[in-house]
Structure 1
Amino acid sequence: MKYIKKTMTYLFGNFWRVFLTLIPISVLCAFFVKPLTSVTSLYYITTEEFRNPKELIETLDFGGEWYYIFIYMGIVLLISAFLSYAYITIYRHMRTGKISIRTPFRYMNGGFITFVKIMLCISLYIFLMQLIISGVLALLNYVFWSLSFPYWIFRIIAYLLIIAVIIFSNYMLKTPLMMIFHMYVYGYGLMEAWSANGKLLDKKIILTMFFATLLPLLAIMAINFLCVLTPIAYWVEIIVRTVVYFFVFAYYMALAVIVMFDLCEIERRDIPLYRR
Structure 2
Amino acid sequence: MRVDLAGLSIPVGGVSGVDLHVEPGELVGLIGPNGSGKSTLLRSVYRALRPGDGTVRVGGDDVWRTLSARRSARRVAVVAQHSAEGFDLTVAEIVATGRTPHRAAPAADREIVARALERVGLTGTAHRLYATLSGGERQRTLLARALAQQGGVLILDEPTNHLDIAAQLDLLELVRSLGVTTLAALHELNLAAAYCDRVYVLAAGRVVACGPPARVLTPSLLGEVFGVRAHLGVNPLTGRPALTFAPLDTTGDPR
Query: Which structure carries more strand by proportion?
Result: 2
TM range (shorter): under 0.3
Larger Rg: 1
TM-score, scaled relative to structure 2:
0.24
Query: Which structure carries more helix by proportion?
Result: 1
Instruction: Return the structure number with greater relative CO, CA threshold 8 A, min gap 6.
Output: 1
